[in-house]
Structure 1
């Protein structure tokens, strides 16, 4: 479907590319502005992200930096990623502004709630990882540390570990949106997804194995919420599909209803 302007004139390719470039520059500018505002607090941000692990370090143990530039580069990298995560609403808003003129009105009514829900779910996945998964996981790791081994984690390796989990849980929490879209667009129906539930459960554990670090504990903590979120998306999709079918039935009955008004008198 061609993307149309308000005057219903088809935009030339150059106009598409110009607008795309403008929106990309806005995205980059937003990320850089957020990074500039957060850079002064980069050490505090890293301390906040490292708090779940530091709470379970043995007494007298600290995190270490094995690289020469790690004390600077690691907080720098984390601050850039935080700026990127915080800019997600701006990024999605620019994407929406680019594609919205090419959508029908009924598509926009569905797209706006989905856009807002996807942002909230992504942040919800990151919050779930930080407040629920990290304390359980790091407490478990600390409890199984062999005797005579000092638990002193490198700050760079820790950052890579938690960023992977943040991204994995953020993406995993988008499952209800993906499930809803599959049902709404008509790619699959609710009955097929329900019959495929055993395969979905296995798939959740496979995705958990791919996206998380190589330990069964973190894989399970990702797979179980993914399964529950799939069920939530299945429920929402079935409700919306049922409502759409009911609306179509009402419209059909309204069109087929006989006209009770008497015909006009002939002169």
Structure 2
């Protein structure tokens, strides 16, 4: 068991195999063959899984790394900037993409993608569920856009992955921090819409 748990790849393979066994169990006890409801359940699971990784890393950056970096002695900072941050940013940006894609697919399979994108305007704003979930989707889309078009490009300069002068690196680090803080600000209301809409409206 220690050999399994000491290797992250093997741990995750076993975790996904166990998850797939459970997914198959749901399929066997579902009244119909894989239908829209079943696939909605699958994509809701994936959307939640990727979302936890995305927001978890966002909170790690903002609650831990950004706050504590000024306190780290200069000779130790490369351990974070050269090893930890690039790896965390890899999982961060791809989790953001997969969360967004799974969310769009989920909205499509549930039949309200257009209504949500328009915040319910196509229905004369008569279906509050679509307005609320659409608001959450737009907040998440802004956050996703920030990750790929502002945070990651700036971090590449700040971390030395892409060349830049010391001044450019400092400006890029500040830019990445500010857009990361914007995402942190948007994350809490976004999560309200994602969780409460399903509970209140079903």
- Give the TM-score taking structure 1 as reference length: 0.29
Structure with more helix by fraction: 2
